[in-house]
Chain A
Amino acid sequence: MYSVENKDDERLIWSRFLKGDNHVLSLIYLQHSNSLFDYGCRFTIDKELVKDCIQEVFCSLMRTRNNLSETDNVRLYLLKSLKRRIIRELKKTDHQPRLLNDQDYPFDLRWSESLDDQLSELDEEKRLRLADAMQSLTDRQKEAIYLRFNRGLEYEEISFLLNLNYQSSRALIHRAVEKLREIIRVPNKNFGQVLLAILCHSREHAF
C-alpha cells in the first residue's frame, strides 16, 4: 500500500537520490526493506545478522552514490549487495566447509503454514509426494523459484543474482514447475476438491 506504484516513480526517486537528495532514501528504504529482510532470512536464521547487513547495504549506497548510474535497477542492486554481504559474513562465522563455495550456500524455502492446513485434506500419498518434490529441489532451484514467485523478478534479473545465464535460470524454474504439475495432474476426485477450495480461498481475497 505504501509502495511506489510504478516504474516511472521508481526511476524518479532513484534519479533524485543520485542527484544528492537524501530525503528520498527513506522512500527507497521503506519500499525495499521488507523484501530485503525476507530475502536475507533465507540464507540464515540469524535475523540480527540480516539486519546488520541491510544497514551496511544502505550505508554503502550513500557512500558509493557517485559511482551509480541512472539506469541501474535499484531493487536488483540492493538484493545483490545484500546477498554478497550475508554470504561474506556467513563464511567468516560459519566454519562449515560447504560454505567455501559461493554456489553452495543453503536457501530456505517452504510453503506457507496456511497452505499446509488446506493441503491436509489431501490424501496422505499426494501430500507426501508434493512435500518430497519440494524437498528434492536444490538450493539454487529454491532461490530461483523464490525470486520468481515471491519477489516477482524476471529471468534476466534472476540470472544476474544467481550468476547464471538466462537459459539456465529459466530451466531451473521450469523443471521444478513441471515436477509439481505432474503430481497435481494425476486425476483424483478428492484432490480436485481441495484444489477448488484453495482457489476459492485465494480468489475471495483477491482484492
Chain B
Amino acid sequence: MEKYRDYTAVDFLNDESFLRWISEPTQKENDFWNNFLKTHPYKKADIKEATLVFKLFYSRENKLALNEQYDLWKKIQDEAKNSKRTIFLKLAKYAAILILVFFSGAVTYYLYQNGGQQYQYELAETPQTTKDEAMIVLSDGSQISLEKQMSQISYSQNGQQLIVNNDTITQKTPTEGGLINKIIIPYGKKSMIMLSDGTKVWLNAGSQLIYPSVFSEKTRQVMLVGEAFFDVAKNTEKPFVVRTTDISIHVLGTRFDISAYPEDKLIQTVLVEGKVNLTYSGKGILNREYSVEMKPNQMVVVNKSTGESRSQTVDVSKFVSWKDGMLEFEKVDLVRALKQVERYYNVRIQLADPMIGSFKLSGKLDLKEEPEEVLNVIKLTVPIDWQKKSNGDFIIINK
C-alpha cells in the first residue's frame, strides 16, 4: 500500500491492480482500494481523475449473442470434424463428446476450479418446447422421464440417490465433486425438486434447472432458464447462487421467485423473506455489472436489452401463487397474464386485436380447472370473449 502514497493519476493508470479494480473488481481488490481510500483520503482526487480517464477510454463492447456464439462454435466443430488431417480415433472420441455436449442445442459453460476439478454447465438457449416430455438428464446423458403433471423429486444428502415420484434411482458420484444434472419441464407441467442440501425448488412450466447432485464447491450454484420459486436451505458457509443469462442471485438462506424466460424481455425477481443480492452481468457498458440488495416484499425487474433495473414493493403472494396451482393478478396486462396461462396449459392463445392485450386484469385464477374455464373467469373481469380454433388454439376477441 505504501508504494501508492505518491502516485499521480497517470501512475494509477499504469498500475495493474488499479486497472483491475476499476474494470473488473474482485472482492480482494475492492477491499484493498476502499481501505486505501479510507487511509489515504488525500489521494481521492488523483484516483477520481484516473477513473474518469479510464471511463473516457473504456469503449462500448460488441458482444456475440448467445445463439451466435453457439452457432459459431458449431461451425468450428463441423470444420474440425470434416478435416481429414485428424487421426480417425481422435476424431471419433471428439464427435462423441460433441454429441453429448450439444445434444440439446445448448451452449456449454465450464467452470474450472483450482486443481483442475471440472464442472460443466449447460445453459440452454431456449427451453425445449418441441418436446412435451418432462425429464431429468443425468451427467452420463441418460434420461429419466417425469410422467406426472406435477413431479416430486428429491436428492439424498450425498447426492447418490434421487427419488422421483417414489422411484429410487442411484447414480455413482465421483469421490470429489458432484455430477451435473439437469431437469427439463415443458409447457403444461410443473415440478418440485429438493436438492441435496435441502433447498426446495418449484419449477414452473417451460423451465430448466441445471444443478450438481452434491454441492462440493465453495458456493452452491445452479442455473435457471424460465421461472422457479426457491426455498433455500440456510448455510452461511456456502452461499447459494442462481444464475440466469443476465443476472445472478446470491443468497444464504431465503425464499424468492425468479422469472427469466428467454422469450420475455424482462427478468423478474421477487423476494419473499430473507436477503438476497441480485447481480446483473449482461450487456451495457459502464453498468455492465452491478448488484442490488433486495429486501422482503420487493420486486426487481431487469430489462435484458438495456440492463436497466427498477424495483418496487409488491404483494409477493401474487407472484408465487403459481406453485400452488393459482395465478393471482393485480392490474396486470392481459397479454402477460395470458402468457402465463399459455405456459401453464401448453396451449396457444392469440389476440384478434393487439389492443386487447393492454386490458388490466385483477383477480385469482384456479389453474386446476381446464383452460376453457380459466378463460371464462377472465371473461368476467375484462370485456373479451374467446373461441377455440380447429387446431386447438384459442383466439381472444373484443366483446
Contact = CB atoms under 8 A, between A and B. Distances in A.
A113 interface: yes
Nearest to A111: B56
A142 to B, nearest CB: 9
A12 B284 contact: no
Contacts of B1: none
A150 B56 CA distance: 11
Interface residues of B, number: 64
Interface residues of A, number: 62
Given A2-B109, A38-B63, A109-B59, A195 B72 contact: no
B169 interface: no
Interface stretch (A24-32, A72-80, A84-92): A24-32
A20 B90 contact: yes
B9 interface: yes
B399 interface: no
A167 interface: no
Interface-central residue, B10, B55, B63, by most chain A CB under 10 Å: B55
Contacts of B56: 111, 115, 130, 134, 180
Interface in A30-54: 30, 33-34, 37-38, 41, 47, 51, 54
Contact of A23 (B53, B97, B248): B97
Contacts of B97: 22-23
Interface string A14-26: 0000001011001
A83 to B, nearest CB: 15
Given A4-B112, A177-B53, A207-B27, A41 B62 contact: yes
A174 B10 contact: yes
A204 B23 contact: no
A54 B72 contact: yes
A145 interface: yes
**Residue in B13, B20, B48, B56 with the greatest tally of chain A CB atoms within 10 Å:** B56
A114 B63 contact: no
Interface stretch (B79-87, B154-162, B178-186): B79-87
Among A115, A154, A201, which residue has the most Cβ atoms of chain B within 10 A?
Answer: A115
A178 B116 CA distance: 43
B286 A184 contact: no
A165 interface: no
Interface in A59-73: 59, 62-63
Interface stretch (B268-276, B287-295, B348-356, B378-386): B287-295
Contacts of A174: 10
Interface in B55-70: 55-64, 68-69
B237 interface: no
Given A1-B243, A110-B60, A149-B54, A9 B286 contact: no
B10 A112 contact: no
A110 B285 CA distance: 12
Interface in A137-177: 145-146, 148-150, 152, 154, 174, 176-177
Of the listed residues B25, B60, B80, the one surrounded by the most CB atoms of chain A closer than 10 A to its CB is B60
Contacts of A23: 97
A206 B30 contact: yes
Residue among A8, A134, A149 facing the most chain B CB atoms (10 A cut-off): A149
Given A1-B248, A29-B76, A154-B16, A205 B290 contact: yes
B13 A177 contact: yes
A9 B112 CA distance: 7
Which of B49, B72, B90, B114 has the most chain A CB atoms closer than 10 A to its own CB? B72
B38 to A, nearest CB: 13
Contact of B83 (A37, A55, A63, A180): A63
Given A38-B63, A184-B53, A185-B49, A149 B79 contact: no
A13 interface: yes
B110 interface: yes
Contacts of B55: 111, 115, 198, 202
A125 interface: no
Contacts of A115: 55-56, 285-286
Contacts of B109: 2, 30
Given A27-B112, A38-B61, A112-B59, A184 B49 contact: yes
A105 interface: no
A198 B60 CA distance: 16
A5 interface: yes
Contacts of A20: 90
B222 to A, nearest CB: 13
B368 interface: no
Contacts of B80: 22, 59, 62
B108 A26 contact: yes
Interface of A: 1-2, 4-5, 8-9, 12-13, 20, 22-23, 26-27, 29-30, 33-34, 37-38, 41, 47, 51, 54-55, 58-59, 62-63, 109-115, 130, 134, 145-146, 148-150, 152, 154, 174, 176-178, 180-181, 184-185, 195-196, 198-199, 201-202, 204-207
Given A27-B110, A58-B76, A114-B284, 5 more contacts: A2-B109, A26-B108, A29-B76, A181-B49, A199-B51
